[in-house]
Each structure stands twice: as C-alpha cells, then as structure tokens.
Structure 1
Amino acid sequence: MTQSVVVQVGQCGNQVGCRFWDLALREHAYVNKRGLYDDAISSFFRNVDSRNSDGGVHAVGGRIQHLKARAVLVDMEEGVVNGILQGPLREVFDSTQLLTDVSGSGNNWAVGHMTYGSAYRDLIVDKLRKAAEHCDCLQCFFLIHSMGGGTGSGLGTRVLSLLEEEFPDVCRIVTSMYPSAEDDVITSPYNSVLAMRELTEHADCVLPVENQSLLDIVNKINVMSHGGKPGLMIRSGSTVTSGQGVLGGAEKPFDSMNSIVANLLLNITSSARFEGSLNMDLNEIAMNLVPFPRLHYLVPSLTPLYTLADVSVPSRRLDQMFSDAFSKDHQLIRADPKHGLYLACALMVRGNVQVSDLRRNIERLRPSLPFVSWNQEGWKTGLCSVPPVGHSHSLLALANNTCVKPIFMELRERFNKLYRKKAHLHHYLHVEGMEQSVFSEAISSVTALIEEYHHLDVTSTRLTPDVARLCIAT
C-alpha cells in the first residue's frame, strides 16, 4: 500500500488541512467500524502506540492504537497551529510535525521565501524526511497553501522547491488558494505572481482554487438553506458545507469555504484511501493530464455542492451530477472550460456508480466539450466504491483546459498596475537576497505561460508541427 504526506503552509494551508484531517477521520470511522488499522487508514495515517517512547508503529491485533496524520505543519505565525493543538485534532499531530515562528511574513513573499526559507531550510527538510521515513512506499506530497499572503506564497513555494530537491521522484500535487480582486492584502498581486513562477517550475500538478468562487458557492448554499427555492434545502450534517451542514451563527464564511477545498482533497485522495472497481493511482493524474510540463494547472469542479434533501441513485440524478461537473457554477475557479480547449480531463467518481454509467455520460457530454485535435480521447477515469459520508455518490472533475488563461491574464494586469508605479517594491527589495530581477523573471514566466495556452487555442483546429514549441521535453 502506498502512502502520501500532506504539507500545510501558512494560515490558510493549515486551516484547510485541519478540515481535511477532520473529514478524513470521519470517513474512515464510518467505513471502518471495527477499529482495525488497515491499508485504507495507513495511506494517510500512522498507527502509533502512545506508550512507546520511541514513537514507533505498534499495533496490537491489528487494532488502532493512536493515529498520527502523515503531515507537516508550517506557519510563521503560531496562532492557527496553536489553535489546532488546542482543538479536537490535537492528538493527531505531535511536536515533531510542527514548525512555527511568532513574527509572520508581513504579507511579503520575499520574507517567506528567502528570509524564513533560508533560516528554516534544514529544519523543514528534517521534518519532511522524518515524515517520508514513516512511509513504506511514499507516493505523493500534497502541498496546501495560499497565494496572496507572505508565508503561504513565499515559504510555501520554497517548501515546494525543497520537495523537488530532496524527493525528485515523488509526485508533488499543490492546492493553491488564489486571492480575489478585492483581496484585503494590497501586495497579493506581487505575492501571487512571484509564487506562480515557482509553481510552474517545481510542481507536477497545481489545483488552483479562487476565494471568490468559493465565496459565491457558499453564498448560494446559504440562500438555499434559507428557502431560496421551493423544495430545496441543505441536508443536515453535509460535509460539503460544514460540520453543522449550514452556516450557523458562530460559523464564519471561510469555514465553509475551507470545507469545500477539503472535500476536493477527499475526492482526489479517495482512490488512495479506499478500494474501487477502477482505482486511479495518484501518479496517473500527472501522467495522463499533463501533456506539457509547464501546463499543469488543473481546473477542479466538485459535485454535489448544492446538496438537496434526498440524493438518490436514480439515473436521472446521476446524469445530472455529471452535467453539473461541467457547469461553471461548480468550478472552484471563475472559469468556464466550455469556452476553453481541453487538453485532457479526469473524472473521479465515488459511490454506487457503474463503469457503464461513467462511459455513457462521457459519450453524452463529449460533443459539447472541445478537445484538442490530437487528444480527442483524453479522458482519465476513476471509480472509488466508498462515497462521501451522507451521500450516495460524488464526482470530482479535473480539467486541463486553456480557460485558466484569463485568470492568469487578470492576475498579470493587477501585478502590472502596482509594478508600473513601483508601488510597495521597497518592502521586497529590503529583504536580503531579493533583487528587482526576480520580479522581471516572475512576470516573464507568467506571460510565457499565457502565451503557451494562447498558442494551443489558436492552433486548436489542426495538428501542426508548431506544437513542439511548447517545450515537450525539458
């Protein structure tokens, strides 16, 4: 059985990660009622005897003794991590998995990437190695971080480069939270573009998620929960919203936003955690969805999001789930893949779904989805037999699609508005090791990425030798 390690960096990364572990434990407890330490649990958890002072794995009769998440938590402010250690998940982590400071990165990519990246490099590598050593067969690192702040963008991408340096053969899948245009961090365009260059160079796959898209989804859920449409209501206990199922009085919008991203991670890891008739290996995601190394940004779409009172198995409801996955209302970024060009697409289905249902829906939807001419059969599918708690089935679609281009163009424009005036630049240039050329290289990297997507769009109707310009080999 293979194992994966989750690396959480910054406030957002740790909040989303905490929600993932909470829901993952809930899923395993629901499926594994006898409390046995099995292959499914071992994929993301270690079984540790708390009485064993050397921290070694020890199970009596195969039963769970004390679960520890296969995780590394990093933040240069200690508030969120301390909150986790005082909360219900405090026993799931120990001090050897944590790295915190007290001063934060001040919304400055350079401080996170260069100052803290250099100061804590050896400690970070040590914690990553220890997490890897606890795995029998390490398959993947999942990095969770945000793009707009300083620690998530700066130190998060420094950790990503360390993962490539120390574990070059282990897949690196990154979930990146992109700020909205109305973000309250003025320097977020700088931080995001500087981080983008690192993601393009060092990640195997990036799952971009926009705060604004998540907020729009949560607002729609909230409207529905208060009777927005007759006959619709939110199922109580829905994991897609929160532990309470709806936005409660003490709950903040970002709690539900974090839960949506956590469910994205639950779905993408489901084949690694549970059996299925058509399991998808995590390494297969990059192998099948990334035809060119730099074009590895995968648009995630999750359904069900707007949970109805009775989710049943009938074919009509199942077919609607597949249709929803290709609706812009279910995308976790503000992009419409139907207005872009598909390079490849993965469908990761959970629950009581047959291979025939999967194939039938692909054939039904195929005519409306524009694929590149040289990859008309570019579908990758996975079936996991265990559905999310409270649902009969769910679907995660990952689309490698040129529709991400406008998102990156908008980000570049926001960057240029600041950079043309050299606004706030001195905060970055005062950081040791940071030079203005880093900004130039970062914006050039994003521009080159946009041009590569554009080139695919304009050559979509024919197969040409120019495809070689996309740097097929690096």
Structure 2
Amino acid sequence: MTQSVVVQVGQCGNQVGCRFWDLALREHAHVNKKGVYDEALSSFFRNVDSRKNGGGACDIGGRIQYLKARAVLVDMEESVVNEILQGPLREVFDSTQLLTDVSGSGNNWAVGHMTYGSAYREQIVDKLRRAAEHCDCLQCFFLIHSMGGGTGSGLGTRVLSLLEEEFPEVCRIVTSIYPSAEDDVITSPYNSVLAMRELTEHADCVLPVENQSLVDIVNKIKHMSQGGKPGSVIKRDSTIISGQGGLSGTEKPFDAMNNIVANLLLNITSSARFEGSLNMDLNEIAMNLVPFPRLHYLVPSLTPLYTLADVNVPTRRLDQMFSDAFSKDHQLIRADPKHSLYLACALMVRGNVQVSDLRRNIERLRPSLPFVSWNQEGWKTGLCSVPPVGHSHSLLALANNTCVKPTFMDLRERFTKLYRKKAHLHHYLHVEGMEQSCFSDAIASLSSLIEEYHHLDATKGRLMPDAPRLSIAT
C-alpha cells in the first residue's frame, strides 16, 4: 500500500487541510466500523498506538489519538495552527511536524520565499524527511496553499522547490487558492504572479481554485436551500458546505468555501484510501493528463454539491452528475472548457457506479467536448467503491483544458497595473535576495505559459506543424 503526505502552508492551507483531515476521518470511521488500523487508514495516517501490538483506531469519539496524520503544518503566523491544536483534531497532528513563527509574511511573497524560506530551510527539510521516513512507499506530496498572501505564496512555493530537490521522484500535486479580482490584499497580483513561476517550474500538477468560484457555489447552494422551491429541496447534511471541521470557535464565512476544497482533496485521494474496481494511481494523474510539462494546470469540477430530496431515479441522477461535471456551475475556477480545447480529462467516480455507466456517459458527452486532434481518446477514469458520507455517489472531473488562459491573462493584467506604477515595489526590493529581475522573470514566465495555451487554441485541434515549440513530457 502506498502513502502520501499533505503539506499545509499558510493560513488558508492549514484551514483547508484541517477540514480535509476531519472529513477523511469521518469517511474512514463510516467504513471501518471496528476502528481497526488497516491499509486504507495507513495511506494518510500512521499508527502510534503501541498498546495493541500495532492496532489502532479511527473512532472519532475517543480513540482518535492513536492515529497521526501524515502531515506537515507550516505557517509564519501562529494563530491558525494554535487554533487547530486547541480544536477537536489536536491529537491527530504530531507536534514535531509543526512549524510556526509569530510575525507573518506581511502579504509579501519575498518575505515568505526569501526570508523565511532561508531561515527555516533546514527545519522544513527535516520535517519533510521525517514524514517521508514514516512511509513504506511514498507516492505523492499534496501541497495546499493560497496565492494571494505572503506565506502561502512565498514560503509555499519555496517548500515546493525543496520537495523537488529532496524527493525528485515523488509526485507533487498542488492545490492553489487564487484570489478574486476584489481581493483585499493589494499586493496579491504580485504574490500570485511570482508564485505562478514557481508552480510552473516545480509542480507536477496544479489544481487551481478561485475564491470567487467558491463564493458563487456557496451562494448558489444557500439560495437553493432557502428558496424552498417545489422539487428542489436540499436534503439535510447532504451538502458539502456544511460543518467547519477541526477548528474551534464560531463558524466563519470562509468555512463553507474551505469545505469545498477539502472535498476536492477527498475525491482525488479516494482511490489511494479505499478499494475500487478501477482504482486510479495518483501518479497516473500527471502521467495521463499532462502531455507538456508546463501545461499541468487541471481545472477541477465537483459534483454533486448537494442532494435534492426529489431525485429518486438512480440512472437519471447518475447521468445528471456527469453532465454537471462539465457545466460551469460546478467548476472551482471560472472558465468555459466547452469552448476551449481539451488536452485530456480524468473522471474520478465514487460510489456504486459501474464501468458501463462511465462508458455510456463518456460516449454521450464526447461529441460536445472539443479534444485536441492527437488525443481524441484522452480520458482517464477511476472508480472507487466508497462514496462520500451523505451521498450515494460523487464525481471529480480534472480537465487539462486551455480555458485556464483567460484566468492567467486576467492575473497578468492586474499585475501589470500595479507594476507599471511601481506601486508597493519597494516593500519587495528591501528584502534580502529579492531583485527587480524576479518580477520581470515571473511575468515573462506567465506570458510564455499564456502563449503556449494560445498556440494550442489556435490549432483548433489540428496537429501542430511546429509542435516542438511545446516540449513534450517524457
């Protein structure tokens, strides 16, 4: 059995990560009624209970302390990690795998990447190595961070480069939370573009998630649940935005948004945690969905986001789930893949779904999805038999699609508006190791990425005569 390690960096990364661990424990407890430490649990948890000859438990009530999450928690401002350590999941995290400071990164990528990245380099590497040593067969690192602030963007991408240095053969999947255009962090365009260069160079796959998309989904679900329209009543406890997870205190506005991202992680890791008739190896995601090494940004789409009380016809509900996965309302990034080019697509299904259901729906949807000409059969599918708690089945679609280009163009435009005026630049240039060339290199990297997507778009599915311009992954 393979194991994976989750690395949570910054306030957002740790809040999302905490919600993931809470939901993962609930899933395992739901399946593993006796609370026995088994292979499914070992994929993301290690057993530290020596009193039962290696036995362990996932009982949420009282025996949770026998498990430790395969996690590394990093934040340069200690409040969120302290909150986690005072919450219901406090025993799940190994205190030696936490790293905090007190002052934060001041919404400055350079402080996170250069200052803290250098000061804490050895400690970070030590914690990563220790997490890896606890694994029998380390398959993947999951990095969770945000792009707009200083620690998530700066130190998060520094950790990513350290992962590549220390574990070059281990897959690196990054979940990156992108700020909205109305973000209250004035320097977020700088931080995001500087981080983008690192993601493009050092990640195997990036799952971009936009704050605005999360807000839209949460508002839509709340509107439906309060609307009370006949035939569209949402069942209680069947929406993925309910509950706040292992944090103490009152529920915050972003808890519902964090839940959506945590459910994305639950679905992508389900095949690693549970049995299935067609399990998808995590390494296969990059292998099958990334034909060009830099074009590894995969648009995630999640369904169902809720369960309607009136839909009782299994086939209709199942087919609707597949249709929803390709609608803009269920995407975690604002984009329109149906009018852009698919390079590849993965469908990760959970629950009582048959291979025949998968094939039928792929054939039904295929005519409306424009695939690049040299990869018309670019589908990767996975079937995990265990559904999320509260649902009969679920689907995560990961689309490698050129529709991410407008998002990146918008980010470049917001960066340029600030950079043209040299606004707030001095805060970055005062940081030791940071030079103005870092900005020009970052924007050049982003522009090159946009151009590569544009070049593919321009072919409209034809085989490219100058294909070598895009280096092919080997």
Whether the 8 Å CA contact 1:27–1:388 is kept in 2: the answer is yes
The range that moved more, 111-120 or 462-471, is: 462-471
Q: How far apart are the structure 1 equivalents of 2:103 and 2:460?
A: 49
Q: How far apart are the structure 2 equivalents of 1:472 and 1:464?
A: 13
Q: Please state how far the C-alpha of 1:227 moved relative to its aligned partner.
A: 1.9
Q: Please state how far the C-alpha of 1:309 moved relative to its aligned partner.
A: 2.3
Pair 433,307 (structure 1): closer, same or farther in 2 beyond 3 Å = same
- What's 1:445 paired with? 445
- What's 1:318 paired with? 318
Residue type of the alignment partner of 2:37: Y
- What's 2:467 paired with? 467
Give CA-to-partner distance per residue, 1:339-363, whole Å, 9 cap, x none: 1100000000000100000000000
Mapping 1:376-395, distance limit 5 Å: 376-395=376-395
Q: Please state how far the C-alpha of 1:311 moved relative to its aligned partner.
A: 5.8
Q: Please state how far the C-alpha of 1:230 moved relative to its aligned partner.
A: 2.7
Q: Please state how far the C-alpha of 1:316 moved relative to its aligned partner.
A: 0.9
Pair 239,121 (structure 1): closer, same or farther in 2 beyond 3 Å = farther
SS class of match (1:226): helix
The range that moved more, 307-316 or 39-48, is: 307-316
Give CA-to-partner distance per residue, 1:85-122, whole Å, 9 cap, x none: 00000000121110000000000000000000000000
Q: Please state how far the C-alpha of 1:464 moved relative to its aligned partner.
A: 2.6
Q: How far apart are the structure 2 equivalents of 1:29 and 1:309?
A: 25
Whether the 8 Å CA contact 1:174–1:205 is kept in 2: the answer is yes
SS class of match (1:115): helix
Q: Please state how far the C-alpha of 1:76 moved relative to its aligned partner.
A: 0.2
Q: Does 1:236 find its partner at 2:249?
A: no
SS class of match (1:269): helix
What stretches of structure 1 of length at least 5 have no aligned partner? 52-57
- What's 1:3 paired with? 3
Q: Does 1:419 find its partner at 2:419?
A: yes
Q: How far apart are the structure 1 equivalents of 2:323 and 2:203?
A: 30
Q: Please state how far the C-alpha of 1:463 moved relative to its aligned partner.
A: 1.0
Q: How far apart are the structure 1 equivalents of 2:473 and 2:399?
A: 22
Residue type of the alignment partner of 1:421: K
Give CA-to-partner distance per residue, 1:273-304, whole Å, 9 cap, x none: 00000000000000000000000000000000
Pair 234,203 (structure 1): closer, same or farther in 2 beyond 3 Å = same
- What's 1:55 paired with? none
Q: How far apart are the structure 2 equivalents of 1:372 and 1:396?
A: 21
- What's 2:295 paired with? 295
Q: Please state how far the C-alpha of 1:460 moved relative to its aligned partner.
A: 2.4
- What's 2:406 paired with? 406
Q: Does 1:336 find its partner at 2:329?
A: no
Residue type of the alignment partner of 1:34: K
Mapping 1:7-22, distance limit 5 Å: 7-22=7-22
Pair 375,287 (structure 1): closer, same or farther in 2 beyond 3 Å = same
Mapping 1:39-58, distance limit 5 Å: 39-49=39-49
- What's 2:116 paired with? 116
Question: How many pairs are equivalent?
Answer: 465
Give CA-to-partner distance per residue, 1:128-164, whole Å, 9 cap, x none: 0000000000000000000000000000000000000
- What's 1:262 paired with? 262
Q: Please state how far the C-alpha of 1:326 moved relative to its aligned partner.
A: 0.1
- What's 2:95 paired with? 95
What stretches of structure 2 of length at least 5 have no aligned partner? none
Q: Please state how far the C-alpha of 1:466 moved relative to its aligned partner.
A: 1.1
SS class of match (2:174): strand
Residue type of the alignment partner of 2:216: D
- What's 1:353 paired with? 353
Residue type of the alignment partner of 2:33: K
- What's 2:175 paired with? 175
Whether the 8 Å CA contact 1:147–1:192 is kept in 2: the answer is yes
- What's 1:80 paired with? 80
Whether the 8 Å CA contact 2:429–2:436 is kept in 1: the answer is yes
Residue type of the alignment partner of 2:79: G
Whether the 8 Å CA contact 2:346–2:379 is kept in 1: the answer is yes
SS class of match (2:189): helix
Q: Please state how far the C-alpha of 1:310 moved relative to its aligned partner.
A: 5.5
4+ residue runs of structure 1 moved beyond 6 angstroms? Answer: none
Residue type of the alignment partner of 1:385: S
Whether the 8 Å CA contact 1:23–1:239 is kept in 2: the answer is no
SS class of match (1:237): coil
Q: How far apart are the structure 2 equivalents of 1:191 and 1:258?
A: 21
Q: How far apart are the structure 2 equivalents of 1:269 and 1:239?
A: 20
Residue type of the alignment partner of 2:472: I
Pair 324,156 (structure 1): closer, same or farther in 2 beyond 3 Å = same
Q: How far apart are the structure 1 equivalents of 2:82 and 2:311?
A: 38
Q: Aligned Cα RMSD in Å?
A: 1.6
- What's 1:274 paired with? 274
Return the TM-score normalized by structure 2: 0.96
Give CA-to-partner distance per residue, 1:249-289, whole Å, 9 cap, x none: 95333101000000000000000000000000000000000
